[in-house]
Amino acid sequence: MAGKKSKEPGGAETLLVELLTEELPPKVLHRLSHAFRDVLLEDLRDDGFLRSYSQATIFATPRRLAVSISGVLPVAPDHEILIKGPSVKSGLDATGKPTQALIKFAEKRGVTVEKLIRINDGKQEVFAHRDLAKGGHLETNLELKIEEALKRLPIPKMMRWGASDTKAQFARPVHGLVMLHGSRVVPGEVLGVKSSNRTLGHRFLSGGAIALKCADDYERALCDKGKVIVDFGKRRTEIAKQLKDAAGSANLVIGDALLDEITALVEAPTVYAGEFNPEFLEVPEECLVLSMQQHQRYVPLRDKATGTLLPRFLFVSNIETQQPREIIHGNERVLRARLADARFFYDQDRRSRLEARVPRLTSVVYHNKLGSQLERVERVQLLAGKIAREIGADPLVAERAAWLSKADLLTEMVGEFPELQGTMGRYYALHDGEPKEVANAIEQHYCPRFAGDELPQGNVAIAVALADKLYSLAGLFGIGQIPTGDRDPFGLRRAALGVIRILVERDLPLSVHDLVKWAFAAHDSKIGSAHTDLEFFIQDRLSGYLRDHGYSALEVDSVLSVRHVRINDTVRQLEAVRAFNKLPEAQSLAAANKRVVNILKQAAAKGESFAHVGLEELKEPAERALFEALTAASLRAAPLLKQGDFTGYLKSFAALKSPVDAFFDSIMVMVEDRELRKSRLALLADLREQMNRVADISKLAA
């Protein structure tokens, strides 16, 4: 807090570290500032320089990274250390006397062998020396900790500067360094810059260098003398407020990412409003919005009543002036040129029909092992038609949409704004007179593009979206491009999740096995067979998807381990498992199922064979009672399963608790009599088969 005295009991004081730089990359500034704080705070805490109440505050502007940490000690307290030596086995000979290894360890630690202690390190008993290590001095440690923190920052691209023999590297060249502990400058040098208590304010509004009296004066001094809002969060809030005030009755077209980027571009924000020629509104608004946001970091405005784009925009300047006319006119001129380019691209693109562009896709490489975009389109077209027939869509319409789906990649507008692929295809298809279903499918076949994105609407768009994603998955798996670890350059995890979301959330009765088979067949055997790998990959993504929707790992495992052909029923099956698990009989039946699984597994391992059993083969009352109860429950459950009443199906078997308990209480399954053993194993196999068609109940056992 500004103005607060930094001196605290026990010598603890506020530590301020600031790096003055050239303009930092705006898209990563927020992330860099948090990482800088986290790494430095962790390092200081690990070495004992912090109090229990120490807290860190982040500061970040285009020209600085800074962090203020309260309760930092000048000297870390002494602390006990434990140095492990030889094991007891190697430290003592057969007579119990110290070996040379143990003697040398003791000498190295400056003590006699008798001063060593024995501890168990988790693997074996070892000799060790407990010693008291002196605490480090902040003065001698801080610059090293800052350098280490800077090395660990997630910087996408480094810059180098300085003489060849003393080159420094960071996101941008560093020109100033503040290392202030309370009111005392901590001497040191980082990236070739020596520490001081002097910082700089706003490039134009500040009167020059600012000398900081103490660390806690930093934020107020930069505000009052430097005209800088140094706190990223406060600056962001101020920008959001000014934008809202300037928008008036209009709605802002701005997301968190753009607001963060704007915040990272200014130190003293002032919002101004500009206008552009309404004639530009004839261009698709997606093009106008991208031109404003991506190229200029302007904020478009929408009419609150109609939702249409207005010929007005807002921009955030890094300087406030009483005469903003020139600033506004300058930004309007820049935007006019951008929008004129967009209109030119739009007009040029509409001179050629989409279908005329398709043959030219032969010159666009999809993947060097999978051919051109034209080959891709031809195969996706066939796959889309097949899927369309299965889900009741017009296959000819789906095939037409697939044929035109990639044509907009060759347009000027998509060349300028790759984010508009699909979107521009829809506009151009409508301009060409294509059916609305075709145009919508061209745009929506990319959906969902990201987590939480909307799904394609209508069965034609669904067929093309599934075909496009499955074709890519099969092709890339077929040439060995399977995601590993964090690497997924082709977005296959996202594609698989898109397939899952479409099947589950659109409730499509399609078999994943069949879809994968058709997708590989579309490649005309020009790739390797990886059907099973792809099916397991989709299954793994499905497991994560379901857990993200609140189902437990046990519930998900119980349903997916049954390997259902269709996954659109999965959520209903999970709800059935959840309802079954609430029954008082559930845990007992789950435990019994687990026991059955183990018995059958052991029997199979011994080469036992068993098939379905009849009542006449069973002799004991408990096994006959279980057979009759299982038969009755199965008769009740069968029509429920056929109707898709998974909850009713599972609950039908709750009545088996007593006969199952009685069976295991009085019947020995693995008896000497081969025929008797075979019939009892068959009874258990029937029990497992009938009870576990919806989910593997044994997985629910605690």
Q: What stretch of H or E contains 512?
A: helix 512-521
pLDDT of residue 164 exceeding 80: no
Residue 66 belongs to what H/E stretch?
strand 64-72
Residues 63, 169, single domain; the answer is yes
Q: Would residue 210 count as lying in a domain?
A: yes
Instruction: Indicate the residue among 549, 582, 605 that finishes a domain.
Output: 549
Candidates 477, 556, 480, 555; CA nearest to 516 is 477
Average predicted confidence (pLDDT) for the chain = 92
Buried/exposed code over 668-691 (b: 16+ C-beta within 10 A; e: otherwise)? ebeeeeeebbbbbbbbbbbbbebb
pLDDT of residue 10: 57
Question: What pLDDT shows up at residue 166?
Answer: 63
Place of tokens 């026991």: 595
Burial 11-33 (b: 16+ CB within 10 A, else e): ebbbbbbbbbbeebbbebbbbbb
Together in a domain, 389 and 521: yes
Distance (Å, whole) CA 11 – CA 130: 28
Q: Are 569 and 646 in contact (CB under 8 A)?
A: yes
pLDDT digits (tens, 9 = 90+) for 441-494: 999 999 999 888 999 999 999 999 999 999 999 999 999 999 988 888 899 999
Q: At what angle do helices 531-548 and 459-478 cross, to 10 degrees?
A: 120
Please compute the mean of the pLDDT values over residues 422-437 and round it to a whole number. Answer: 97
Is a pLDDT exceeding 80 seen at residue 615?
Answer: no
Residues 54 and 175 grouped into a single domain = yes
Clarify whether residues 324 and 374 are in a common domain. Answer: no
d(C-alpha 297, C-alpha 286), whole Å: 15
Residue 582 in domain? yes
How far is 352 from 356, CA to CA, in rounded Å? 7
* pLDDT of the residue at 165: 61
Q: In degrees, to the nearest 5, what angle opens at C-alpha 522 toward C-alphas 516 and 528? A: 70
DSSP code of 156? S
Q: Are strands 299-302 and 64-72 parallel, antiparallel or unpaired?
A: unpaired
Residue with the larger pLDDT of the pair 638 and 164: 638
Q: Following DSSP, what letter does each residue of 459-487 receive, concatenated?
A: HHHHHHHHHHHHHHHHHHHHTT---BTTB
Residue 438 has pLDDT above 90, yes or no: yes
Q: How confident is the model at residue 156 (pLDDT cuts 50, 70, 90)?
A: confident
Confidence of residue 616 (pLDDT cuts 50, 70, 90): confident
Residues 201, 53 share a domain: yes
Is 64 in contact with 21 (CB distance < 8 Å)? yes
What single letter denotes the amino acid at residue 509? P
In this structure, the answer to whether residues 291 and 433 fall within a common structural domain is no
Cα separation, 639 vs 645, whole angstroms: 9
Is 357's pLDDT higher than 70? yes
Mean pLDDT along residues 375-401: 97
Is residue 213 domain-shared with residue 257, that is, in the same domain?
Answer: no
C-beta separation of 386 from 419 below 8 A: no
Tokens of 154: 């997630």
CATH of the domain at 524: 1.10.3210
Residue 102 shares a structural domain with residue 177: no
Contacts of 484 (CB under 8 A, 6+ apart): none
Please tell me whether residue 201 adopts helix, strand or coil conformation: coil
Residues 470 and 377 in one domain: yes
* Residue pLDDT, tens place only, 53-65: 999 999 999 999 9
Q: What is the pTM of this model?
A: 0.81
Residue where one domain finishes, among candidates 201, 224, 247? 224
Cα 583 vs. chain centroid, distance in angstroms? 36
Q: Does residue 472 contact residue 451 with C-beta atoms inside 8 Å?
A: no
pLDDT mean over 556-575: 92
Tell whether the model's pLDDT for residue 3 goes beyond 50: no
User: Which tens digits make up the pLDDT trace of 655-664?
Assistant: 999 999 999 9
492 by DSSP, 3-state: which? Answer: helix
Strands 193-196 and 174-181: parallel
Instruction: Specify the DSSP class assigned to residue 137.
Output: B
Please tell me whether residue 489 adopts helix, strand or coil conformation.
coil
Residue 478 burial by CB count (10 A; 0-12/13-18/19+): exposed, middle or buried? buried
Separation of alpha carbons 661 and 687, rounded Å = 13
Those residues whose C-beta lies under 8 Å from the C-beta of residue 383, and which sit 6 or more positions away, are 402, 467, 470, 471, 518, 519, 522
39 with 121, same domain: the answer is no
Q: Is the pLDDT of residue 48 over 60?
A: yes
Residue 4 lies in a domain: no
CB atoms within 10 A of CB 165: 5
* Predicted pLDDT at 2: 43
For residue 5, the number of C-alpha atoms closer than 13 Å in the C-beta half-sphere is 4
Q: What residue type is assigned to position 381 of the chain? A: Q
Contact 190, 143 (CB under 8 A): yes
425 in a structural domain: yes
> What is the model's pLDDT at position 4?
45
Q: Tell me what pLDDT residue 702 has.
A: 64
Reported as a pLDDT band with limits 50, 70 and 90, residue 400 is very high
CATH of the domain at 612: 1.10.730
DSSP 371-396: EEHHHHHHHHHHHHHHHHHHTT--HH
Q: State residue 6's pLDDT score.
A: 45
Q: How many other C-beta atoms lie within 10 A of the C-beta of residue 601?
A: 10
Q: Which residues pair with 290 in a beta bridge?
A: none
Number of structural domains (the chain) is 5
What is the β-pairing status of strands 365-367 and 371-372? antiparallel
> Which residue pairs from 88-91 have beta carbons closer than 8 angstroms and sit at least 24 positions apart in sequence?
88/118, 88/124, 88/125, 88/126, 88/127, 89/124, 89/125, 91/126, 91/127
Residue at 612 is within a domain? yes
**291: which residues sit within 8 A by CB, 6+ positions away?**
335, 338, 339, 341, 342
Q: Is residue 474 part of a domain?
A: yes
Q: Which two tokens stand for residue 93?
A: 């000979």
Does 284 have pLDDT greater than 70?
yes
Task: Taking residues 283-302, report their average pLDDT.
Answer: 95
Using the predicted structure, report yes or no on whether residue 1 has a pLDDT greater than 50: no
Q: The domain that contains 199 carries what CATH number?
A: 3.30.70
Asked if 600 contacts 688 with a C-beta cutoff of 8 angstroms, the reply is yes
Instruction: From 319, 334, 349, give the residue that closes a domain.
Output: 349
- 119 within some domain: yes
* Domain-located, residue 561: no
Bridge partners (DSSP) of residue 200 are 209
Q: Indicate whether 365 and 509 sit together in one domain.
A: yes
- Tell whether the model's pLDDT for residue 5 goes beyond 50: no
Domain containing residue 446 = 355-549
Give the phi and the psi of residue 688 in degrees, each rounded to 5.
Answer: -65, -45
The mean per-residue pLDDT over the stretch 75-91 comes to 84
Regarding whether 272 and 293 lie in a shared domain, the answer is yes
With beta carbons less than 8 A apart as the criterion, state whether 441 and 457 touch.
no
Structure tokens at 391: 């889900």
Q: What is the mean pLDDT of residues 141-150?
A: 93
Read off the pLDDT of each residue in 350-377 and give the average, rounded to a whole number.
95
Q: Give the contacts of 224 (CB within 8 A, at least 6 positions apart).
A: none
What integer is the mean pLDDT of 380-395? 97
What does the pLDDT read at residue 487? 86
User: What does the H/E/C string look like for 393-410?
Assistant: CCHHHHHHHHHHCCHHHH
